[in-house]
């Protein structure tokens, strides 16, 4: 690894600990083949990390931050590259500053919540996925497909005046009109071409992270958008599902995560020696190291 024009040339999989925009600015243009990520959802979790995205009091500020991330990520993406973006929706808080816990989902509890956005009413569905998708489209991304991620075992909600939600959106965007895409690699269980509704159940795990990608959701994205040894970027790396799948499929990855505890989880799941860059230094860290050692 060498510094070239103050930007990093990366030869192998790596994880950065830090603010994603600041890290992205250090990466070379046109250097990754694919981006697969799921940013924090607005008003849904408080990760208690300075600089976190998702608890902005104004939703427009949330969208502006994500636009900065994805516009910088587009610079790093190769001309024929793609972005797979998972983003969830939410309802207005009615200006309530709390949300109660749930027996099956204790992470649901919040002691701070953003106000109801201007122009919306109490109990409104906000429409975050499409609002973000249209903003990215306006900024130059090609919006190629909206995929419904159907969760057949989705968790019931404590509501009595609307259907339970058991889906999220996964958008496929590209940097150019023509891009690398292997349709034959994206097959449904029946062997036919995958359509735009993907049934992928969530799975129980013992990972202390409240929002984990199902591995089966990621595999097809990696296989149809990249070839062996090509790079996949996840600017919201979390517990490292994208990195784990990339390693298993002989792809390389770049992960960016602001929370060092989640990086420890990712290293354990990936179960390999991965370069980790934090505070401007490079450290070779094995999966056995914990976050306290990482911070030293």
Q: pLDDT tens digits for 99-131?
A: 455 555 555 454 566 788 888 999 899 999 999
Q: Quickly tell me which residue has 């109801």 as its tokens.
A: 116
Quick check: 15 and 237 in contact, CB under 8 A?
A: yes
Which residues on neighbouring strands pair with residue 84, listed in sequence order?
Answer: 36, 172
Q: Which of 83-97, 147-161, 256-270 has the highest mean pLDDT?
A: 256-270
DSSP string of 204-225, one letter each residue: ----S-SS---HHHHHHHHHHH
Is 3.40.50.1820 the CATH classification of the domain at 2-294? no
Q: Which of 183-187, 202-206, 212-216, 249-253 has the highest mean pLDDT?
A: 249-253
For residue 246, name the pLDDT band (cuts at 50, 70, 90). Answer: very high
Tell me: the pLDDT tens digits for 163-173?
988 999 999 99
- List the one residue out of 24, 8, 12, 15 whose CA is nearest residue 277: 15
Tell me: the pLDDT tens digits for 154-164?
877 878 899 98
What is the reported pTM? 0.86
- Rounded CA Rg of the chain: 19
Tokens read off for 239: 């517990």
Of the two residues 107 and 85, the one the predictor is more confident about is 85
Instruction: Of 68-82, 209-223, 238-252, 255-269, give the lowest mean pLDDT range.
Output: 209-223
Mean pLDDT over each residue of the chain, to the nearest integer: 85
For 132, residues 6+ apart whose C-beta sits below 8 A from its C-beta are: 63, 66, 85, 87
Q: Span 72-79, mean pLDDT?
A: 98
Q: Which of 35-44, 146-155, 250-259 has the highest mean pLDDT?
A: 250-259
Q: Span 264-270, mean pLDDT?
A: 93
Strand, helix or coil for residue 33: strand
Distance of alpha carbon 99 from alpha carbon 227, whole angstroms:
44
For residue 95, name the pLDDT band (cuts at 50, 70, 90). Answer: low
For 276, residues 6+ apart whose C-beta sits below 8 A from its C-beta are: 14, 15, 16, 17, 263, 267, 282, 283, 284, 285, 294
Q: Which of 45-54, 100-109, 255-264, 280-289 has the highest mean pLDDT?
A: 255-264
Distance of alpha carbon 273 from alpha carbon 271, whole angstroms:
7
Of the two residues 248 and 278, the one the predictor is more confident about is 248
Of the two residues 83 and 289, the one the predictor is more confident about is 83
């Amino acid at each position: 690894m060498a510094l070239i024009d103050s930007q990093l040339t990366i030869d192998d999989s790596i994880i950065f600990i830090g603010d994603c925009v600041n890290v992205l600015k250090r990466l070379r243009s046109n250097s990754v083949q694919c981006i697969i990520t799921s940013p924090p959802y607005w008003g849904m979790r408080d990760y208690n990390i300075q600089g976190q995205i998702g608890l902005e009091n104004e939703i427009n500020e949330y969208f502006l931050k994500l636009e900065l991330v994805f516009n910088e990520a587009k610079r790093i993406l190769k001309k024929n590259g793609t972005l797979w973006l998972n983003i969830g929706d939410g309802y207005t808080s009615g200006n309530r500053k709390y949300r109660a816990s749930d027996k099956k989902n204790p992470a649901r509890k919040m002691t701070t919540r953003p106000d109801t956005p201007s122009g919306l009413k109490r109990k409104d569905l906000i429409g975050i996925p499409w609002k973000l998708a249209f903003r990215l489209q306006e900024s130059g991304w090609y919006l190629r497909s909206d995929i419904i991620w159907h969760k057949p075992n989705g968790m019931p909600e404590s509501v009595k005046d609307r259907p339970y939600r058991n889906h999220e959106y996964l958008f496929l965007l590209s940097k150019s009109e023509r891009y690398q895409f292997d349709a034959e690699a994206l097959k449904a269980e029946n062997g036919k071409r995958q359509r735009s509704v993907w049934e992928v159940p969530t799975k129980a795990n013992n990972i202390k992270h409240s929002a984990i990608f199902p591995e089966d959701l990621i595999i097809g994205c990696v296989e149809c958008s990249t070839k062996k040894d090509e790079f996949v970027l996840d600017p919201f790396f979390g517990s490292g599902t994208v990195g784990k799948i990339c390693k298993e499929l002989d792809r390389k990855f770049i992960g960016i995560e602001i929370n060092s505890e989640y990086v420890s989880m990712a290293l354990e799941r990936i179960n390999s020696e991965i370069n980790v860059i934090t505070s401007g230094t490079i450290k070779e860290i094995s999966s056995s190291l914990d976050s306290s050692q990482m911070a030293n």
